[in-house]
Structure 1
Amino acid sequence: MLEVIVLEDEPVLRHELGEFLEEVGYTPLCVSSLQEFDRDFDASRHHLAVIDVGLPDGSGLDLIQRLRQAGQKLGIVVFSARQTSADRITGLGIGADHYLGKGCDLDELAATLAALVRRLGLQQQPGPGAPVRWMLEVGPRRLHIPGAPAVPLSQQDLMVLRCLMSQPGENISRRQIIEALGADFLDYDQRRLDTQMRRLRRRVEDVSGQTLPVKTLRNSGYCFYEPAEVLS
């Protein structure tokens, strides 16, 4: 898994960021100060960084400037409560790749990191002999994607994918999916299923950069067409 160094001084948020990044398939190293960052940062391992601006021992912006002056090519996302236009312009001007406000949805952070992974060519390829398959983990509600970050799922998305991925390569009818959702097929507005599938496709692409391998069977249902496994 790709390693991400996270510099955030607020303990609760630092813990939340670490847990979230682990959930979506990264290996986070969380530090709380510039001193800890300088001590623990390893350019050979850390190709991505999430950096706060206001820190107890200085400014994250000074750190970013120092990293760029040293020739470090890692992808840097500023994650800060300071989010005026002037703050963003300054951060991007000194070398941050992206500047996010702390009020943003963490899915936006995941999508931003995924974009950096693609731009920097950091996609991981499965090792020799490793199965190349999509895996659905039911307990934590995660979709594991070969060579990409995992995607956290809502309960409804999990139920739809479980129905499809339990029988990869098979045509699954709309009735089967709707009944798996616990709804009455005759009373269910099928446009809701179409909307859910569009949102699910977009979420997978935003977080992982991959296209969800589900084809639509006109007026019939859907088919998950890649090798897949469901882990309970």
Structure 2
Amino acid sequence: MLEDEPVLRQELEEFLAELGYAPLCVSTLQAFHQQFDPGRHRLAVIDLGLPDGSGLDLIRHLRTAADPVGIIVFSARNTSADTIQGLEIGADHYLGKGVDLDMLAATLGALARRLQLGTQAAPPDAAAWVLDLGPRVLHAPGAPTVPLSQQDAVVLACLMRKDGENISRREIVEALGADYLAYDQRRLDSQMLRLRRRVASFSGIALPVKTVRNSGYCFYAEARVRG
């Protein structure tokens, strides 16, 4: 990620890490060129107004070099003319900085799915959904794998170890290491919403988790947990 504003850069770094990415965040074109590795870095979120040049020049360079990287412009320059210019130069998507971060997450997921990033063969015993706790990935049946944050992996492990059963909110909250009586239940609801969006954006299929009214959640498909 290339963003020169320190507060926003930190916010985006924490947001992307929470989604399960391992973001490399830099503030200048020079730092980007020094640290970018096309063999490892397959998605790039690029600001345009930078202290040592224009992000448009970087996008043009990446496309000229034929680096197989998905590019999302994330810029305060968000007029129609700016958007058209960015897309014509080679960006895959163009988002204004006022957009909700969930839109950025969905756009990254859709781009990763289109580029088939993270597509791996599921473990041999995967009849359906498989959670690998070591690398923190979720194998969806017949679809790309989904990288997970630590919290998402904990929640899914709690649900998938007892697939087909109703798991109470208390059990999930305590698995997260929190005090159930002091825990804001809206946090769990928000996390489940983000998790569903993340799985759908990466894999293209819905996470088989249903909300059990006044109780908790249930993972209703066949599941395996490894690690």
TM superposition shift of 1:126: 6.4
SS at match of 1:145: strand
Q: Give how far 1:128 is off.
A: 6.5
CA distance in 1, matches of 2:146, 2:224: 15
Q: Name 1:69's counterpart in structure 2.
A: 64
Q: Secondary structure at the match of 2:25?
A: strand
Is contact 1:7–1:37 with CA below 8 Å preserved after alignment?
yes
2:88 pairs with one of 81, 93, 106: 93
| Of 88, 104, 113, the match for 1:109 | 104
CA contact 1:201–1:211 (8 Å) conserved in 2: no
Which of 207, 221, 224 does residue 225 from structure 1 map onto?
221
Q: How does 1:139-158 map to 2 (within 5 A)?
A: 145-146=138-139, 147-150=145-148
> Residues 178 and 69 from structure 1, CA distance in 2 versus in 1: closer, same or farther, beyond 3 angstroms?
closer
Larger radius of gyration: 1
1:59, distance to aligned residue in structure 2 (A): 0.5
Does the residue aligned with 1:42 lie in a helix, a strand or coil? coil
AA matched with 1:13:
L
Query: What SS class does the counterpart of residue 46 from structure 1 fall into?
Result: coil
Query: Contact 2:159/2:219 (CA < 8 Å) preserved in 1?
Result: yes
Distance 1:23 1:178, change over 3 A: closer
CA shift in 2, pair 1:86/1:130, >3 Å: farther
C-alpha distance in 1 between matches for 2:195 and 2:11: 26
Partner residue, 1:187: none
Match of 1:42 among 33, 37, 45: 37
* Corresponding position of 1:169: 164
Partner of 2:8: 13
8 Å Cα contact 1:31/1:37 also seen in 2: yes
What is the distance in 1 between the residues matched to 2:130 and 2:71? Answer: 30
Q: How many residues align?
A: 195
Equivalent position SS for 2:56: helix
**Unaligned stretches of 5+ in structure 1?**
1-5, 137-142, 182-195
Q: Retained in 1: the 8 A contact 2:3–2:46?
A: yes
Q: Is the 8 A contact 2:17 2:149 kept in 1?
A: no
TM-score, with structure 1 as normaliser = 0.67
Q: Which residue of the partner structure matches residue 133 of structure 1?
A: 130
What displacement does 1:104 show? 1.3
Distance 2:158 2:30 in 1: 49
Q: Report the TM-score when normalising by structure 2.
A: 0.69
8 Å contact kept, 1:133–1:228:
yes
- Of 197, 205, 226, the residue aligned with 1:203 is 197
The code of the aligned residue for 1:95 comes to G
Contact 1:34–1:57 (8 Å) recurs in 2: yes
Please point out which of 77, 80, 84 is paired with 2:79: 84
Query: Percent identity, aligned pairs only?
Result: 54
CA offsets 1:121-157 (integer angstroms, 9 cap, x no match)? 1124268689863489xxxxxx963321337989xxx
Query: What are the ranges of 5 or more consecutive residues in structure 2 without an aligned counterpart?
Result: 140-144, 173-189
Task: Say what the alpha-carbon RMSD is for the aligned residues.
Answer: 3.8
Contact 2:72 2:92 (C-alpha < 8 Å) held by counterparts: yes
Structure holding more strand per residue: 1
Contact 1:215 1:225 in 2 (8 A): no
In structure 2, how many angstroms separate the alpha carbons of the residues matched to 1:65 and 1:151? 32
Question: Hey, what does 1:121 align to over in structure 2?
Answer: 116
